Amino acid sequence: MTVSVTNKAPELCMPKVMGILNVTPDSFSDGGQFSNINNALAQVEKMIEDGALIIDIGGESTRPGAKDVSVTDELSRVIPLLKAIKSRFKVDISIDTSKAEVMAQAIEQGADIINDVRALQNKNCLKVLAQTNIPICLMHMQGLPRTMQAEPKYDDVISDIKSFFRQRIIACDSAGISKDRLILDPGFGFGKSLVQNFQLLANFSQFQSFGLPLLAGISRKSMIGKLLNTEVDQRLAGSLSAAIIAAQQGANIIRVHDVKETVDALRVLQAVNSNNF
Enzyme catalytic residues:
221, 255
- Single residue of 59, 187, 213, 250 touching ligand 7PM by CB under 6 A: 187
Cβ nearer to ligand 7PM, comparing 11 with 60? 60
Residue nearest ligand 7PM, CB atom distance = 217
Cβ nearer to ligand 7PM, comparing 115 with 270? 115
> Shortest gap between Cβ of 19 and ligand 7PM (angstroms)?
11
88-91, long-range: CB < 8 A, 24+ apart: 88/41, 89/44, 89/45, 89/48, 91/44, 91/48, 91/52, 91/53, 91/54, 91/55
> Shortest gap between Cβ of 276 and ligand 7PM (angstroms)?
30
Closest CA to 221 of 269, 184, 254: 254
SS3 state at 215: strand
Q: Site mask, ligand 7PM, residues 207-246, x = CB under 6 A?
A: --------x-x---x-------------------------
Give the range of 72-80, 183-191, 239-247, 260-268 binding ligand 7PM by CB under 6 A. 183-191
Does 28 bind ligand 7PM (CB under 6 A)? Our answer is: no
Cβ nearer to ligand 7PM, comparing 253 with 266? 253
CB neighbours of 268 closer than 8 A, spacing ≥ 6? none
Task: Report 74-103 residues binding ligand 7PM (CB under 6 A).
Answer: 96
Does 112 bind ligand 7PM (CB under 6 A)? Our answer is: no
Closest CA to 98 of 77, 76, 79, 124: 124
Task: Tell me how far apart the alpha carbons of residues 244 and 265 are, in angstroms, rounded to a whole number.
Answer: 7
Q: For the chain, how are helix, strand and coil distributed in percent, rounded to 5?
A: 50, 15, 40
How is residue 147 annotated by DSSP? T
Does 255 bind ligand 7PM (CB under 6 A)? Our answer is: yes
SS3 state at 85: helix
Does 62 bind ligand 7PM (CB under 6 A)? Our answer is: yes
> Shortest gap between Cβ of 69 and ligand 7PM (angstroms)?
13
CA distances from 98 to 47, 182, 250, 257 (A): 24, 15, 26, 21
Cβ nearer to ligand 7PM, comparing 64 with 110? 64
Q: Site mask, ligand 7PM, residues 5-24, x = CB under 6 A?
A: ---------------x----
| Structural contact between residues 149 and 191, judged by C-beta atoms closer than 8 angstroms | yes
Judged by the rule CB under 6 A, the positions of this chain that interact with ligand 7PM are 20, 58, 62-64, 96, 115, 117, 137, 139, 185, 187-189, 215, 217, 221, 255
